[in-house]
Structure 1
Amino acid sequence: MKPTTVIAATLIAVGLGYVLWSAVWQRSAEQSQPVLEAGALVNVLLPESLSPEAQLGKRGFDAKCAACHGRNAAGRDGVAPPLVHIIYEPGHHGDESFQRAAALGVRAHHWRFGDMPPVTGVTSSDVAKITAYIRALQRTNGIN
């Protein structure tokens, strides 16, 4: 076989390999990137699974919190902040701050959304489960 044929065949093989690798990598990257929902303030990656407590918390969050804080705690533009955000990491806003926010409301201090009213119809046990859900979302998104 001529050296030019070997070189041409090698270049073709490398080119095809690159095209295939790039197509697979691009598809994989697209699948791992969440799509920012309309009105959401942050992208939120979802955990592969939730503990039983966090599963109950998701239900509670969807019923009592999502209307303002958005689906999967991604926030809602002009309404309420995302809870999957470094500001709400456990070292800055511990679990008790979620209990107090639900029971007493919150005066605006980190964001320009206005005050949060108390949340009616949730018990401290409900809030603990909702917090477990929020913490699971935060961990999945690198907020520990």
Structure 2
Amino acid sequence: MTTTISSRRLAKWAVSLCVTGAALSAGAASAQNVQYAPGKAFFDAKCAVCHQAGGKGQDGLAPPLTDLPGRYAANAEGRTQLGLTVLNGMFGTIAIKDKSYNFKMPSFRVESDEDLANVLNYLVFDVNAKHAGAKPFTAAEVKALRATQMDGAQVRAHRDVALKSIGL
């Protein structure tokens, strides 16, 4: 009987070890897929409350960030839109894929240029699959955009220009 109990304990321990190892491997693999960890940390702390984890969006409130940022980042108007949005905020109703969002995104102008470049890069390269032709944002690029002062409604109006620049 002692041998049977020991065998069962050993089997339970082995299964437990395998499950733990698999969970740790999955966590490590997902962590390795994030190129812009500081941007993800910023997003998780300051943006995910509205845009949800991974930028999936929240119906009626905050749009998903899983498609357009990657497409915007491949051209000048789109890059300007992304920078202006994080610097100045944006408000007003927008439509994405037949869903309406009416929100008031706050300005993150008080954050550092480096933090804002990192969060934009996280969105473009880690969250978006469609970012062909996009180059990483730099702190210098964000700093240059600070000179353009807009309110959230003006940023919303500029969005129409950015959408046209990507063929939408």
The TM-score normalised by the length of structure 1 is: 0.54
1:99 aligns with 2:83: yes
> Residues 84-123 of structure 1 correspond to what in structure 2 (within 5 A)?
84-86=66-68, 89=71, 90-91=73-74, 94-108=78-92, 110-111=94-95, 112-119=101-108, 121-123=110-112
Q: Which residue of 2 aligns with 1:124?
A: 113
Q: Which has the higher helix share?
A: 2
RMSD over equivalenced CA pairs, Å: 2.7
Unaligned ranges ≥5, structure 1: 1-45
Alignment equivalent of 1:55, drawn from 31, 34, 37: 37
Distance in structure 2 (CA, Å) of the matches to 1:142 and 1:97: 17
Unaligned ranges ≥5, structure 2: 1-29, 96-100, 133-168
Q: 1:86 to 1:101 in 2, by over 3 A?
A: closer
Q: Which has the higher strand share?
A: 2
Cα drift, residue 68 of structure 1: 0.8
Counterpart residue identity of residue 82, structure 1: P
Q: Which aligned runs of 4 or more in structure 1 are off by greater than 6 angstroms?
A: none
Number of equivalences: 96
Q: Which residue of 2 aligns with 1:28?
A: none
Is this contact kept in 2: 1:86–1:143, CA < 8 A? Answer: no
Q: 1:87 to 1:119 in 2, by over 3 A?
A: closer
Alignment identity in percent? 25
Cα drift, residue 107 of structure 1: 3.1
Cα drift, residue 48 of structure 1: 5.5
1:91-124, Cα deviation, whole Å (9 max, x unpaired): 4663332322122111335333233221365222
